[in-house]
Amino acid sequence: MSQRASKGLALLCLMGLSINALSDSARVLFVSGMHGNSGKVDLIESAISDHPFSIEQKSAQSLGEAREAAAVFSQYDLVIFNAVSQRMTKRSFDVFAGAVAQASKQNGVRFLAINALEDAGLNQGLESQHADRLHVYFDNGGLDNLARMADYLAYAVLFPDGREIAEPIIFPEVGIYHPDYDKKIFADRADYLAWYAKQTENSQAPTVGIILQRALIETVQTDVIDLTIEKLEARGYQVLPFFFELSPRVSDYSALLQENGKTQVDLLLNFRSIHWASQRKAEFERFGVPVVQAISYFSGSAEEWEQDPQGISPGMTPFVLVLPETAGVIDPTIIAAQDAQLQRSSVIEYQHDYLLDRVEHYLALKTKPNAEKK
């Protein structure tokens, strides 16, 4: 940058203007903290090719000290702090509260802590109705919501022009997913079964319940789940893919699986890591069906997994092996590997087929006469 340009930028700062304040385009910075959801930010970025703003992503660690962070913030019109929860937001970003105050006061930069709206030190200059609306778009995620969030950022926040922006689509905390359903998610089993009865030719076939994270739907990373659904249905089985909120005070999801106390699925195939194993164990025992564990390898590609003598990502071992075993989950099997750059999982075909073969054998065992069992 030339000396003259540097002086010009400095003058804008002294005048209390962000660098882009006199431009017909704006710059938005997403700062990721602990467990920030970069997948959602990528989806927003993919939706803004014809919008009058750009998006950049930085990690909290890359910002350096508070003074350096203030200089970085001053280059943007809006800074969004992206961490998974209010607690993680505080841990990741409270150190920048002084830099936030400085950039807001001196340069007119607006700030949003997307999952900690009550944190006054990290939310500056953005009207509460805008903060609330942006949070709902981001929290629910999915292609439609994040495209609408891009519209809202452009035409309600950065360059308001009075146009109507579609409302957020609110996903339930507990629900059923199917990729062939146009809205993707059902809030209750009755609606799902009414729809699914029209999609399947064999309503008496065994049913596999598939436990997944809602976050996969939010970030449009359901490829592994979708292929599992496709292959199970091709083998003649029915599926009931469902999600629930992961917390110590989780909402009761038994209504998705049981009717009058009787479990309506024949096996559960779990794609989630296990937390609070004692709680999961009590639930699984109440359902009374086998729970089989599907695992993704998070330390590299399928080829790297094949060369890894350990075979399990070290940081995930407690959550995909130890705690699941405590909860009574069986047959932990690697079925996918995550691309480090794309942050997307791809199926390892022969492993995936092996696991589905095991599922098929368990289902056959359920109806096999005892005299024929070995």
What residues contact 159, with CB distance under 8 A and at least 6 apart?
26, 52, 53
Domain 3-158 has CATH 3.30.310: no
**Residue 271: is its pLDDT beyond 80?**
yes
More confident residue, 368 or 365: 365
Q: What are phi and psi of 278, to 5 degrees?
A: -65, -35
Please give the average per-residue pLDDT across 270-295, as a whole number: 92
Q: Which residue has the tokens 């075979």?
A: 311
**Residue 13: is its pLDDT beyond 70?**
no
Express as a percent the part of the chain with pLDDT over 70.
91
Residue 21 has a pLDDT of 46
User: Is residue 371 within 8 Å of 358, Cβ to Cβ?
Assistant: no
Residue 71 has a pLDDT of 95
User: Is residue 235 within 8 Å of 263, Cβ to Cβ?
Assistant: no
Token pair belonging to 352: 């995936």
- How many angstroms separate the CA atoms of 75 and 300, rounded? 35
Give the CATH number of domain 175-372: 3.40.50.2300
Residue 226 neighbours by CB distance under 10 Å: 16
Residue 67 has a pLDDT of 86
Q: Kindly indicate the confidence band of residue 263, based on its pLDDT and cuts at 50, 70 and 90.
A: very high
CA 310 to chain centre: 27
Angle between helices 66-73 and 97-107 (to 10 degrees): 40
Q: Kindly indicate the confidence band of residue 19, based on its pLDDT and cuts at 50, 70 and 90.
A: very low
Please give the average per-residue pLDDT across 272-277, as a whole number: 87
How does pLDDT run across 299-356, given as a tens digit for each residue?
888 999 999 998 887 777 888 888 889 889 999 999 999 876 667 889 999 999 999 9
CA 164 to chain centre: 27
What residues contact 31, with CB distance under 8 A and at least 6 apart?
57, 58, 59, 60, 63, 79, 80, 81, 82, 93
Angle between helices 97-107 and 3-14 (to 10 degrees): 90
**Residue 8: is its pLDDT beyond 50?**
no
For residue 299, give the DSSP letter: S
Residue 340 has a pLDDT of 65
User: Is residue 209 within 8 Å of 268, Cβ to Cβ?
Assistant: yes
Please list the residue range(s) of the chain that carry CATH number 3.40.50.2300.
175-372
User: Is residue 276 within 8 Å of 305, Cβ to Cβ?
Assistant: no
Average pLDDT, the chain: 89
Q: Partners of 80 in the beta sheet?
A: 30, 112
Closest-CA residue to 92 (of 67, 71, 114): 114
User: Is residue 264 within 8 Å of 256, Cβ to Cβ?
Assistant: no
Angle between helices 38-46 and 143-152 (to 10 degrees): 70
* pTM score of the predicted model: 0.83
